Amino acid sequence: MNMPGRIEERQVQQIIDIAGKENTFVQQSQIDDYTHDMADYSATPGLVVRPSSEREVAEIVRVANETGTPILPRGAGSSLTGAAVIEGGIIMDLRRMASVTRVDTVNWYVQVQPGISLEDLNKELKTHGFFFPPDPASSYICTVGGAIAEGSGGLRCVRYGTMKDWVLALRVVLPSGQVVKFGEALSKNRAGYDLVHLMVGSEGTLGIITEAWLKIIPIPSVRTKRFLVTFDNWETTGEVIKRLRSSRILPHLFEFLDRDNVLALNEKLEMHMDEAEATLLVDVEDSEVQTVEDIFRQCGAVKITLARDEEEADAFYQARSMAYLAVKATASGVQVEDVCLPIDKLADYLKMVKQVAAKYGLKIPVNGHAGDGNVHPLILYEKSDEKSRDSANLAYEEICRWAISMGGSVTGEHGVGLQKPKFMREQLEAHDGREALRIMKEIKKIFDPYNIMNPGKYVEIA
Amino acid sequence: MNMPGRIEERQVQQIIDIAGKENTFVQQSQIDDYTHDMADYSATPGLVVRPSSEREVAEIVRVANETGTPILPRGAGSSLTGAAVIEGGIIMDLRRMASVTRVDTVNWYVQVQPGISLEDLNKELKTHGFFFPPDPASSYICTVGGAIAEGSGGLRCVRYGTMKDWVLALRVVLPSGQVVKFGEALSKNRAGYDLVHLMVGSEGTLGIITEAWLKIIPIPSVRTKRFLVTFDNWETTGEVIKRLRSSRILPHLFEFLDRDNVLALNEKLEMHMDEAEATLLVDVEDSEVQTVEDIFRQCGAVKITLARDEEEADAFYQARSMAYLAVKATASGVQVEDVCLPIDKLADYLKMVKQVAAKYGLKIPVNGHAGDGNVHPLILYEKSDEKSRDSANLAYEEICRWAISMGGSVTGEHGVGLQKPKFMREQLEAHDGREALRIMKEIKKIFDPYNIMNPGKYVEIA
Give which of B130, B190, B376 to mutate to test A binding, by max A Cβ within 10 Å: B190
Q: Are B177 and B58 in contact (CB under 8 A)?
A: yes
B398: part of which helix (H) or strand (E)?
A: helix B386-405
Q: Is the pLDDT of residue B5 over 80?
A: no
Give which of A125, A190, A429 to mutate to test B binding, by max B Cβ within 10 Å: A190
What distances in angstroms separate CA A8 from CA A1, A5, A64, A203, B232, one per listed residue? 10, 9, 10, 26, 70
Please, what sign has the CA dihedral across residues A400, A403, A408, A412? negative
A439: part of which helix (H) or strand (E)?
A: helix A434-447
In chain A, what residues touch B194 (CB-CB under 8 Å)?
151, 164, 194, 197-198, 200-201
Interchain CB distance below 8 Å, B462 and A192? yes
Show the CA angle centred on residue A198, arms to residues A196 and A201, nearest 5°.
Answer: 105
**Taking Cα atoms as reference points, which of A186, A175, A26, A51 lies closest to residue A114?**
A51
**Taking Cα atoms as reference points, which of B431, B426, B333, B433 lies closest to residue B379?**
B333
Question: Given the DSSP bridges, would you call strands B24-25 and A374-381 parallel, antiparallel or unpaired?
Answer: unpaired
Give the span between the Cα atoms of A391 and B128, in whole angstroms. 46
- The larger pLDDT score, comparing residue B4 to residue A327, is at A327
**Taking Cα atoms as reference points, which of B183, B146, B210, B157 lies closest to residue A197?**
B183
Query: For A232-339, where are the E strands, in sequence order?
Result: 253-258, 278-285, 303-306, 333-336
Give which of A131, A171, A188, A348 to mutate to test B binding, by max B Cβ within 10 Å: A188
Q: Is the pLDDT of residue B1 over 50?
A: no
Interchain CB distance below 8 Å, A442 and B446? yes
Interchain CB distance below 8 Å, B181 and A433? yes
Give the span between the Cα atoms of B215 and B186, in whole angstroms. 9
Interface size A-B, in CB pairs within 8 Å, comes to 253
SS3 of residue A43 by DSSP: coil
Give the span between the Cα atoms of A207 and A182, in whole angstroms. 12
pLDDT in tens, B370-397: 989 999 999 999 999 999 999 999 999 9
Give which of B193, B213, B338 to mutate to test A binding, by max A Cβ within 10 Å: B193
Share of chain B above pLDDT 90, in %: 90
pLDDT in tens, A17-39: 999 999 999 999 999 999 999 99
Interchain CB distance below 8 Å, B188 and A242? no
Q: CA of A188: which chain B residue's CA is closest? A: B412
- The DSSP output letter for B453 is B
What distances in angstroms separate CA A426 from CA A243, A407, A432, B192, one per listed residue? 33, 12, 10, 12
Q: Provide φ and ψ at A40, rounded to 5°.
A: 65, 20
Of B129, B197, B248, the CB nearest to A221: B248
Please, what sign has the CA dihedral across residues B72, B77, B79, B82? positive
Q: Are A373 and B186 in contact (CB under 8 A)?
A: yes
Contacts (Cβ under 8 Å, ≥6 apart) of A40: A333, A334
Q: Which residues of chain A have pLDDT under 70?
A: 1-5
What's this model's pTM, rounded to 2 decimal places? 0.96
Q: What is the pLDDT of residue A380?
A: 97
Q: What is the pLDDT of residue A382?
A: 95
Please, what sign has the CA dihedral across residues B424, B426, B429, B434? positive
R_g of chain A, CA atoms, integer Å: 22
Of B242, B248, B439, the CB nearest to A218: B248
Q: Which residues of A214-224 are buried (b: 16+ CB within 10 A; e: fewer)?
A: bbbebeeeeeb
Give the span between the Cα atoms of B153 and B159, in whole angstroms. 11
Interchain CB distance below 8 Å, B192 and A436? yes
Show the CA angle centred on residue B49, arms to residues B45 and B51, nearest 5°.
Answer: 150
CA of residue A358 relative to chain centroid, distance? 28
> What ipTM, to 2 d.p.?
0.96
Most confident segment among B141-145, B236-240, B350-354: B141-145
Give the span between the Cα atoms of A288 and A337, in whole angstroms. 32
Q: Are B3 and B66 in contact (CB under 8 A)?
A: no
Interchain CB distance below 8 Å, B446 and A443? yes
Q: What is the pLDDT of residue B278?
A: 94
Of A194, A242, A407, the CB nearest to B197: A194
Distance from CA of A403 to the nearest CA of B (A): 12
Contacts (Cβ under 8 Å, ≥6 apart) of A396: A335, A337, A379
pLDDT in tens, B246-277: 888 889 999 999 999 999 999 999 999 999 99
SS3 of residue B421 by DSSP: helix
**Taking Cα atoms as reference points, which of A55, A96, A56, A90 lies closest to residue A73?**
A90
Query: For A261-329, where are the E strands, in sequence order?
Result: 278-285, 303-306
Distance from CA of A44 to the nearest CA of B (A): 26
Of B174, B201, B437, the CB nearest to A190: B201
Give the span between the Cα atoms of B19 and B45, in whole angstroms. 17
Interchain CB distance below 8 Å, B181 and A157? no
Distance from CA of B31 to the nearest CA of A (A): 29
Beta bridge partners of B409: B340
Distance from CA of B444 to the nearest CA of A (A): 9
Beta bridge partners of A278: A231, A258
Interchain CB distance below 8 Å, A195 and B372? no
Q: Are A61 and A44 in contact (CB under 8 A)?
A: no
The mean per-residue pLDDT over the stretch B31-49 comes to 95
Give which of B162, B188, B429 to mutate to test A binding, by max A Cβ within 10 Å: B188
In chain B, what residues touch A108 (CB-CB under 8 Å)?
245
Interchain CB distance below 8 Å, A185 and B459? no
- Four-CA torsion B28, B31, B33, B35, nearest 10 degrees: -80
SS3 of residue B378 by DSSP: strand
Beta bridge partners of B25: B48
